[in-house]
Chain A
């Protein structure tokens, strides 16, 4: 469980974002990364992380779909939305679906680190 407790999943279809998370959190946490929603759900099912950084706009299954699925399956996982488009209604919907935070790109590294340490400490 110790091992699992440090696991963070980053879901984003942009390689730059994935690279950013790797250099920011890779040396302190067990980072798992994927560029699509299907893979994300599979990972949550098989190797459940404590924290998920989830992009909204992705081909196929988007972030909101993933969130709905998690909610439906009553998965005990904290989700933080990371998105390039700040829209109040998306934020409201995400929070109503259980997202604990809503970060807009470009990401503030201090905030990302704070959330990671808060959840995983």
Chain B
């Protein structure tokens, strides 16, 4: 905005001077007119009074002369009176209206004057004043006539006329007018000067105020108005100063806020561009609001200005990211996919993608946000790791297998190598017959176990009594347990429902658990086996608990891995197989163990729904 004085506007000072001058002129004109009129009237009145007085006086001294027609006295009286100031003529008419005396006009004595003024004067029964123009010069004159009566009679004895010149009076009036005009002009000049002075005094602070406001409006807020007029203008100045101060405060605050916002924006931009995740936000019209550098890089979109374009145009209608965003907007909740494959020319791009609804602080929907991470590298690494794991597992398996096979193999080899030499030795042959088939069976069992471990479930499932199987296992190992002073504690619930399973494999699983317990108690102890079924919805719980040596954490953690071996012990395939059998039965098996305190296996098997 352009802040300056409007050139078309008339300045306040000019206006003040103009109006005050007009008022002054009007007042002065009115004063002059009134004074002049009043003075003229006074002068006229004075003239009339003087005229009447002179005429009256002349009448008084001329009454006897009129009664007696003494024209000489009348003539003397007239000539004496005409000497009076401003008296131009004196005419004395006798009873018959003839001229008895006429100052300086003796020739008119005895004549009857026929002019209209004389006629009116002689006919008048009361004093009469007639303004006339007298003589060739047409001097303004008051013709004052007074009829002369005797006291006791109503009869008129004559008329006294004097012509009183108004020239003196006129010049006096003129002089008065000139004086008035001069005085008036002086007063007006003085008034104009005064009004200019006062207008300056009034408008100077206003001018300052205006100048300051213009400077302030142009942005210079370091303005302070210093006016001490003690009136509204000073108050205005103070208020303005206060206002400027407030504006300055607000401006500083705004500048600070702006700086904060700018730095916050820069910070946010830095965060966005430094992010290792791709981020895209869209508004409710599906137009892109944010798309950070990583998003550009991951999506391979580098076509300059993307912000503001509809997402559909930047990606495509069937792009999974686009579909997730639209789903988020319509369902008003985020979508997460831990792995998403994007087919690209140079191979697949794997992303972890999460979307969320973008809302303001009050929960109003603003748009949607998608955050994604390129996990292609991680996927490749995972694949490598899986391969390494497979190889490691294979290594463990091979080593375990080698160990397990080599012992019986060694025994068989020894017996076979000795056979030719000791064929005739009956005790050797006896030992041969018991050992070699046993060792061959061990190898065979190992192969069978290995096959079983990798085989998909093929055994038919039937309804089984778990308690019965467990008791059979205990019966089989009874002799060994007795030898090792291991006591069996029967906590089997005889009311449990049957489970669906394969008796052969389940028997092996239970047997393996029993063997594990027996091996864990070389110094004797207790094997406590319980079974229970708490509620129709839950499975059947079977617990094998021993009071043996227990296992450390690493062993119990790896117990179900085939051929897992620690310094303390090696497990063959038994526990791995047990785990597999229970899983085949859609059950679970967990192990809890503490070194020196024994081991507990908790099995859950689904029951047959009645």
Binary interface profile of B, 408-446, with partner A (CB < 8 Å = 1, else 0)? 111111110110001000001001100100110010000
CB distance from B443 to the nearest CB of A (A): 10
Q: How far is the CB of B355 from chain A (nearest CB, A)?
A: 53
CA distance A95 to B413 in the complex (A): 26
Instruction: Flag whether A100 is at the interface (Cβ < 8 A).
Output: no
**Are B415 and A20 in touch, CB under 8 angstroms?**
yes
Residues of A within 8 A of B109 (CB): none
Q: Are A109 and B408 in contact (CB under 8 A)?
A: no
CA distance A19 to B402 in the complex (A): 20
Q: Are A84 and B411 in contact (CB under 8 A)?
A: no
A62 nearest in chain B by CB position: B567
Interface residues on A, range: 10 to 19
Distance, CA A85 to CA B403, complexed state (A): 6
Tell whether A16 pairs with B417 under 8 Å between CB atoms, given A59-B569, A85-B403: no
Contact A24–B414 (Cβ < 8 Å): yes
- The reply to whether the CB of A119 lies closer than 8 angstroms to some CB of chain B is no
Interface centre among A22, A62, A106 (most CB of B within 10 A): A106
B567 / chain A contacts, CB cutoff of 8 Å:
62
Cβ contacts under 8 Å, B274 to chain A: none
CA distance A20 to B432 in the complex (A): 9
Closest to A16 in B: B411
B411 in contact with A19 (CB, 8 Å): yes
Q: Which residue, of A23, A60, A104, A107, has the highest number of chain B Cβ atoms within 10 A?
A: A23
User: What number of A-B contacts does a CB cutoff of 8 Å give?
Assistant: 68
A57 adjacent to chain B (CB < 8 Å)? yes
Within the complex, what minimum Cβ distance (angstroms) separates B591 from chain A? Answer: 18
Inter-chain CA distance A23–B433, complex, in Å, is: 12
Greatest chain B CB density within 10 A among A17, A19, A57 is at: A19
Q: Is the CB of A109 within 8 A of B417?
A: yes
Which residues 1-53 of A sit at the B interface, judged by CB distance below 8 A?
14, 16-17, 19-20, 22-24
In contact, A105 and B407 (Cβ under 8 angstroms): yes
Closest chain-A Cβ to B239's Cβ sits at a distance in Å of 96
Neighbouring A residues of B15 by C-beta, 8 Å? none
B402 touches A20 (CB 8 A): no
Q: Given A17-B411, A84-B402, A85-B403, verify A23-B565 contact (CB < 8 Å).
A: no
Measured in the bound complex, the distance between the Cα atoms of B411 and A22 in whole Å is: 11
Q: How many angstroms between the C-alpha atoms of A42 and B127 in the bound complex?
A: 185
**B residues in contact with A85, CB < 8 Å:** 399, 402-403
User: Given that A23-B431, A85-B399 are known contacts, is A16 also in contact with B418, CB under 8 Å in the complex?
Assistant: no
Q: How far is the CA of A23 from the CA of B91 in the complex (A)?
A: 205
With A57-B403, A85-B399 as contacts: A20 and B410 at CB distance below 8 Å: yes
- In the complex, what residues of B have CB within 8 A of residue A20's CB? 410-411, 414-415, 435
Assuming the contacts A23-B431, A84-B406, A106-B406, asked whether A57 and B565 have C-beta atoms less than 8 A apart, the reply is yes
Q: Does B568 touch A at the CB level, under 8 Å?
A: yes
* Chain B residues closer than 8 Å to A104, beta-carbon distance: 406
Which residues in A have their C-beta under 8 angstroms from that of B435?
Answer: 16, 19-20
Shortest CB distance A40–B (Å): 15
Is B568 within 8 A of A19, CB to CB? Answer: no
Q: In the complex, are the beta carbons of B568 and A23 less than 8 A apart?
A: no
Query: Of A59, A60, A105, which contacts B410 at CB under 8 A?
Result: A105
A84 and B422 within 8 A (CB): no
Task: Contact check, B418 vs A60: say whether CB atoms are below 8 A apart.
Answer: no
Q: Which of B376-415 contact A (CB under 8 A)?
A: 399, 402-403, 406-415
**Given A16-B435, A60-B568, A62-B567, CB of A24 within 8 Å of CB of B418:** yes
Closest CB of chain B to A12's CB: distance in Å?
8
Assuming the contacts A16-B442, A85-B402, asked whether A23 and B410 have C-beta atoms less than 8 A apart, the reply is no
Expressed in whole angstroms, the Cα–Cα distance for A84 and B422 within the complex equals: 26
B536 partner residues in chain A, CB cutoff 8 A: none
**B403→A23 contact, CB < 8 A:** no
When the two chains form the complex, which single residue of B403, B417, B431, B442 contacts A84, counting CB atoms closer than 8 Å?
B403
Complex CA distance for A57 and B406, rounded to whole angstroms: 13
Given A106-B413, A109-B417, CB of A16 within 8 Å of CB of B402 = no
B406 in contact with A105 (CB, 8 Å): yes
Query: In the complex the two chains form, is B418's CB within 8 Å of A57's CB?
Result: no
Contact B568 A16 (CB under 8 A): no
What A residues does B417 contact at CB under 8 A? 109
- A16: chain B residues at CB < 8 Å are 407-408, 410-412, 435, 438-439, 442
Chain B residues near A17 (CB-CB < 8 A) = 407, 410-411
Distance in angstroms between the alpha carbons of A104 and B406 in the assembled complex = 9
Give CA–CA (A16, B415) in the complex, Å: 10
Q: Identify which of residues 142-175 in chain B touch chain A, using a CB-to-CB cut-off of 8 Å.
A: none
- Is B413 touching A107 in the complex (CB atoms < 8 A)? yes
Residues of B within 8 A of A106 (CB): 406, 409-410, 412-414
- Tell me which of B403, B406, B438 has the highest count of chain A C-beta atoms within 10 A of its own C-beta: B406
B570 in the interface (beta carbon within 8 A): yes
Contacts of B408 in A (CB 8 A): 14, 16
Smallest beta-carbon distance A83→chain B, Å: 9
Identity of the chain A residue whose Cβ is nearest the Cβ of B519 in the assembled complex: A59
Please name the residue on chain A nearest to B565 by beta carbon: A57
- Chain B 518-557 interface mask (CB, 8 Å, partner A; 1/0): 0100000000000000000000000000000000000000
Chain A 46-81 interface residues, beta-carbon cutoff 8 Å to B: 57, 59-60, 62
Closest Cβ of chain B: how far from A18's Cβ, in Å?
9
Q: Looking at the assembled complex, report how far the CB atom of B277 sits from the nearest CB atom of chain A, in whole angstroms.
A: 46
> What distance in Å separates the Cβ of B594 from its nearest Cβ neighbour in chain A?
18
Q: How far is the CB of A24 from chain B (nearest CB, A)?
A: 6
- Alpha-carbon distance A112/B415, docked complex (angstroms): 13
Question: Is B568 touching A59 in the complex (CB atoms < 8 A)?
Answer: yes
Between A and B, 7 residue pairs with Cβ closer than 8 Å are: A16-B408, A16-B438, A16-B442, A17-B410, A19-B431, A23-B432, A107-B410
Given contacts A20-B435, A57-B570, A59-B519, 18 further A-B contacts (CB under 8 A): A14-B408, A16-B410, A16-B411, A16-B412, A16-B439, A17-B407, A17-B411, A20-B414, A22-B431, A59-B568, A62-B567, A105-B409, A106-B406, A106-B409, A106-B410, A106-B414, A107-B413, A109-B414
What 9 A-B pairs come out closest when comparing CB atoms? A16-B411, A106-B410, A20-B414, A84-B406, A105-B410, A14-B407, A105-B406, A106-B413, A84-B403
